[in-house]
Structure 1
Amino acid sequence: MPVFFLENRAFGQETIQVDLELVLAVDASTSVSAQEFDLQMRGIAQAFRDPSVVQAIAVAGDRGVAVAVIQWANNLLQKVAVDWFLIRDQESAAQFADIVDETPRYIFGGGTSIGGAILYSTRQMEINPFIGARKVIDISGDGRSNQGAPPELVRNQSTTQGIVINGLTINNEDPFIDRYYEKFVIGGTGAFVQTATTYEDFGAAMKEKLIKEIGGVPVAAKPNKIKLASQ
């Protein structure tokens, strides 16, 4: 089964139809320590090795899921850490997980610009060769936006393009950060916030969220762990 890892993207390349385009946007701002950043990346790798996530990808369709990982901080600090990778089965999911495990931290410190992360993630969807039946940006973080454009304004621009923005909040420092994400960050049909109490819980929360995002599971199924977007 071919896997597409696109380190050197070029305009004008042939488009590839996929069931889902997914950006995983990882917080690398000042509030995130080296250990906390590592727990985020290890959590992503752990989730893609889980059989339930692999099963969700298989059930989602025959075309696969295209995934990229970005690291973000302030309005001028964003980077594609793992370029677009097509996952269709257990083997390709394991390959992606191995790449994530080997990916260093590129961004160290800076403010928190959630709007900048959404804008950058949206741009990556525009310039990659994949065309997803669904498009999702997954913003992970532990703090409120304190720099750059208001996230709700950028969110509204992205959702008009058919992009769903979900959140994964780490509530270790701000116990109400999930409510902030619900009001100002997430958007689009079925958007939701998944919460992790601490960074140690990040991997389990990521696994649950990926299963819902990839499989299209109704977010109301687990009201104790899911925050619905405001209607």
Structure 2
Amino acid sequence: MRWWVSIGAVVAAVSAAGMVGGLAAPNRAAPIADRNDDAMAVDVELVLAVDVSYSMDVDELAVQREGYAEALRSSDFMKTLKTGPNGRIAVTYFEWAAASDQKIILPWQLIDGPESADAVATEIMNAPLRRASRTSISGAINFAMPLFEQNAYHGLRRVIDISGDGPNNNGEPVTLARDAAVEKGVVINGLPIMVKEPSYSTMDIENLDYYYEDCVIGGPGSFVVTIKSRDKFKEAIRTKLVMEVAGRTPPHRIVPVADRAQTPRVSCLVGEKIWQDRWGR
């Protein structure tokens, strides 16, 4: 589902009655096996997977970083964090491009208050910016999955948060990676970035939000928050982060899954086709 509600409405709803308010009841993922009994309990194990392909310009990369850092430091995030049963989350942040190109910027860290949130935000901001070729959302999902088994936390939910400005054009089809992750109880949410007009040179597509809805996100309560203007960049990131920590779905189902046609509105292989048409391989 897509979501356009402001961050203020989200926080007000979450805070009004602990974790109830005007938001829908939490959608828990299927139970995840092989948990470590000695692991620290957290409300969510959150993987932030951020696109750094060449279609993202340097300014977008910088604003994206700042958006995550500011969101983690915000009072909205902190209020939501403390409404959870454990009052803490575990988070890791990595950047991705091609199927074989992922770089962890922030190893798993606990956020349980303002000091730890600020430390995580600082570490994200201090990492050098980089760009790389190709766009493999499937590669990002496949890279994220083992990270859940490599941390010292036991989350009530496991979430992969993917942001990007183009379709998968490298690695296995994105739907295969998505379905494998969802089968293991992981929820995938999306942040499609649509601040520029689609360009053949960067292999962008129209209706990237539909592509993310139909081909990328998955799992109970999964959702998309779309960015269509640069001045909404940071607010959208903060909105999505608050929703993920709250474990809530948007109050209005804009595109109910049950109402969708069986065939995706945008081909889930559109990125691969564009690459083939352009480069012949």
TM-score range, shorter chain: 0.7 to 0.9
Distance 1:178 1:47 in 2: 22
Distance 1:200 1:70 in 2: 24
Asked whether the 8 Å contact 1:191–1:229 carries over to 2, the reply is: no
Q: 1:100 to 1:13 in 2, by over 3 A?
A: farther
Q: 1:45 to 1:34 in 2, by over 3 A?
A: same
Post-superposition CA distance 1:92-143 (Å, at most 9, x none): 11221111111223x4221000000001011211211212110000000010
Q: How does 1:125-136 map to 2 (within 5 A)?
A: 125-136=148-159
> What residue identity is the alignment partner of 2:79?
Q
Post-superposition CA distance 1:151-198 (Å, at most 9, x none): 111011011111000001111244410100001100000000011113
Q: 1:200 to 1:122 in 2, by over 3 A?
A: farther
Q: 1:48 to 1:161 in 2, by over 3 A?
A: same
Q: 1:222 to 1:170 in 2, by over 3 A?
A: farther
Give the SS at the match of 2:100: coil
Distance 1:148 1:199 in 2: 29
Shift of 1:15: 2.3
> What residue identity is the alignment partner of 2:134?
G
Distance 2:94 2:255 in 1: 24
- Structure 1: stretches of 5+ with no match in the other structure: 1-11
> What residue identity is the alignment partner of 1:205?
A
**Bigger CA radius of gyration:** 2
Asked whether the 8 Å contact 1:115–1:151 carries over to 2, the reply is: yes
Matched, 1:28 2:52: yes
Post-superposition CA distance 1:10-43 (Å, at most 9, x none): xx99522211000010100111111111111111
The equivalent residue for 1:149 is 172
> What residue identity is the alignment partner of 1:77?
D
Distance 1:16 1:51 in 2: 24
Distance 1:63 1:83 in 2: 20
Shift of 1:217: 2.4
For normalisation by structure 1, the TM-score amounts to 0.87
**4+ runs of 1 displaced by more than 6 Å?**
none
Which of 166, 180, 185 matches 2:216? 185
> What residue identity is the alignment partner of 1:137?
I
Shift of 1:50: 1.1
The equivalent residue for 2:119 is 95
Larger strand fraction of residues: 1
The equivalent residue for 1:204 is 235
Give the SS at the match of 1:116: helix
For normalisation by structure 2, the TM-score amounts to 0.72
- Structure showing greater relative contact order (alpha-carbon pairs closer than 8 Å, 6 or more residues apart): 2
Distance 1:165 1:199 in 2: 24
Matched, 1:85 2:109: yes
Distance 1:102 1:13 in 2: 34
Asked whether the 8 Å contact 1:190–1:228 carries over to 2, the reply is: no
Distance 2:167 2:218 in 1: 16
Which of 60, 76, 83 matches 2:84? 60
The equivalent residue for 1:8 is none
Post-superposition CA distance 1:60-118 (Å, at most 9, x none): 1225100110100010100111111101112211221111111223x422100000000
Tell me whether 21-30 or 167-176 shows the greater mean CA deviation: 167-176
Asked whether the 8 Å contact 1:192–1:228 carries over to 2, the reply is: no
Distance 1:200 1:214 in 2: 23
Distance 1:227 1:142 in 2: 21
